[in-house]
Amino acid sequence: MSFLPLPQAQFHVLVALTDGDRHGYAIMQAVEESSSGVVRMGPATLYGTLKRLVDQGFAEELARQPDASDDSRRRYYRLTGLGQRVCVAEADRLASLVRIARANLRPGLA
């Protein structure tokens, strides 16, 4: 797939969106939680990444909030079908790299 490899920030955001529609702050929290605190995104990194993902067609900004009682300033994002396929392809690519590394680092234990 010509979109690969994905930058780390893009992959983390796509993975966060696999659980459903989220607003920016919820995406930042999901990335931090899923990485056990190793990856922390500030607003500039997050919104720059979201802009690129939307421009590439991997995510889309929702026209309205899923819950009418939510803060109207929040912008929600959703993974697209293309974004889902790219996320799976990147996960498969990374898993393959890990298998290769383990086979080379620990022969016979792969």
- Provide the residue ranges of all domains of the chain, joining segments of one domain with +: 8-105
Q: State yes or no: pLDDT of 35 exceeds 60.
A: yes
**pLDDT, tens digit, for every residue of 48-96?**
999 999 999 999 999 876 666 666 778 999 999 999 999 999 999 999 9
CATH of domain 8-105: 1.10.10.10
* CA atoms in the 13 A half-sphere facing the CB of 106: 5
From CA 50, how far away is CA 108, in angstroms rounded?
A: 42
Q: State yes or no: pLDDT of 32 exceeds 90.
A: yes
Say what the pLDDT of residue 73 is: 78
Q: How confident is the model at residue 12 (pLDDT cuts 50, 70, 90)?
A: very high
